[in-house]
């Protein structure tokens, strides 16, 4: 079992059809339970982990996802590379529904409701999120998307809002004025926690609609149809991407080694347990 690669699935990616499920692991963490049991899966002899971000059946809202437990659980299983799959809205004309976008930056527009760091409760640590996406992983994903003939845009900024409501039209125009490319509700603090845990992280953002800035009325049935098409495209990409990453892992340097600045004598047993996993 290759324990280094994981896929976190978002809206429309509740399971990976046609991929073998070998086992499920219920993982306990100092931060509570992850969204669901972590699935050990396999495609073309390549093993990886899969975690449905919103739980099986999509019962957990973006604000209620236990991001710390999800990332900690995967790191405790030996994961050092995460591919995030997420549904997003487009903030720019060139990113059309059914296109994929591979962002390299995030803009955090959440409301402070989410637990966003492993370093708290008497332990202080700082990790740079200047480059939250691992470039070598992003490049590999782009290469595979091209091979799978999925229209994909390389680069851009992802605005993460709190949700679960979608934006007002005024808000959507503000986000466009930032020069942001796409909008979603889940990749922060997920990406930042991965950075704290020394995990390479990259997002496959699947465009479902033009948010609400564009003068187009989009029926729910149409969005569901687009999500279904995106799911098919994601299947094509994932079944090629997993074997590629397992057979030829990316190379990267974690940036969390010297994160903690708290005097070691002040660290509790809980702190030490967390650091044993996060910094290993």
Q: What is the pLDDT of residues 114-143, one digit of tens each?
A: 999 999 999 999 999 999 999 999 999 999
How far apart (Å, rounded) are the C-alpha atoms in residues 261 and 259?
6
Token digits for 85?
A: 């799959």
Q: What is the pLDDT of residues 57-73, one digit of tens each?
A: 889 999 999 999 999 99
Question: Which among 209, 229, 263, 269 is annotated as catalytic?
Answer: 209
Q: At what angle do helices 220-247 and 135-147 cross, to 10 degrees?
A: 110
Sorted by sequence, the CB contacts under 8 Å of residue 88 that are 6+ apart come out as 101, 158, 182, 183, 184, 205, 206, 207, 208
Residue 214 has pLDDT above 70, yes or no: yes
Q: What is the CATH number of domain 5-274?
A: 3.40.50.1580
Query: Which residue, among 201, 203, 230, 249, has the nearest Cα to 75 in the 3D structure?
Result: 201
How far apart (Å, rounded) are the C-alpha atoms in residues 107 and 183?
9
Report CA torsion sign: 24, 26, 27, 32: positive
How far apart (Å, rounded) are the C-alpha atoms in residues 247 and 239?
13
Q: What is the DSSP letter of 198?
A: T
Confirm if 75 and 192 have CB atoms less than 8 A apart: no
Q: What is the pLDDT of residues 152-200, one digit of tens each?
A: 999 999 999 999 999 999 999 999 999 999 999 999 999 999 999 999 9
The whole-angstrom distance between residue 118's C-alpha and the CA centroid of its chain comes to: 17
Residue 262 has pLDDT above 60, yes or no: yes
Confirm if 50 and 41 have CB atoms less than 8 A apart: yes
What integer best gives the mean pLDDT of the chain?
94
Question: Which among 104, 108, 211, 229 is annotated as catalytic?
Answer: 211
Q: What is the pLDDT of residues 84-117, one digit of tens each?
A: 999 999 999 999 999 999 999 999 999 999 999 9
Task: Tell me whether residue 211 is one of the annotated catalytic residues.
Answer: yes
Token digits for 138?
A: 């992003």
Q: What is the pLDDT of residues 13-60, one digit of tens each?
A: 656 667 889 999 999 999 999 999 999 999 999 999 999 999 998 899
| Distance spanning both ends of the chain, measured CA to CA | 19
The whole-angstrom distance between residue 35's C-alpha and the CA centroid of its chain comes to: 13
- Min mean pLDDT across 148-152, 158-162, 226-230 is at 226-230
């Amino acid at each position: 079992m290759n324990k280094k690669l994981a896929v976190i699935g978002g809206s429309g990616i509740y399971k990976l059809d046609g991929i073998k499920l070998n086992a499920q692991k219920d993982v306990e963490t100092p931060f509570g339970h992850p969204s669901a049991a972590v699935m050990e899966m396999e495609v073309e002899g390549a093993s990886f982990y899969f975690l449905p971000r919103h739980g099986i059946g999509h019962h957990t809202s973006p604000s209620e996802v236990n991001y710390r437990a999800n990332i900690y659980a995967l790191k405790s299983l030996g994961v050092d590379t995460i591919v995030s799959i997420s549904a997003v809205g487009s903030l720019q004309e060139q990113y059309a529904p059914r296109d994929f976008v591979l962002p390299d930056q995030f803009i955090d527009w959440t409301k402070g409701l989410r637990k966003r760091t492993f370093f708290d409760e008497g332990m202080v640590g700082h990790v740079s999120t200047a480059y939250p996406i691992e470039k070598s992983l992003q490049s590999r994903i782009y290469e595979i998307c091209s091979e799978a003939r999925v229209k994909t845009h390389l680069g851009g900024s992802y605005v993460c809002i709190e949700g679960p409501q979608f934006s007002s039209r005024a808000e959507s125009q503000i986000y466009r004025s930032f020069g942001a490319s796409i909008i979603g509700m889940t990749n922060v603090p997920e990406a930042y926690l991965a950075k704290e845990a020394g995990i390479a992280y990259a997002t496959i953002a699947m465009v479902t609609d033009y948010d609400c800035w564009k003068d187009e009325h989009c029926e729910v049935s149409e969005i569901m149809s687009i999500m279904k098409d995106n799911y098919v495209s994601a299947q094509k990409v994932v079944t090629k991407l997993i074997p590629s990453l397992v057979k030829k892992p990316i190379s990267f340097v974690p940036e969390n080694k010297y994160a903690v600045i708290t005097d070691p004598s002040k660290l509790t047993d809980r702190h030490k347990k967390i650091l044993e996993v996060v910094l290993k």
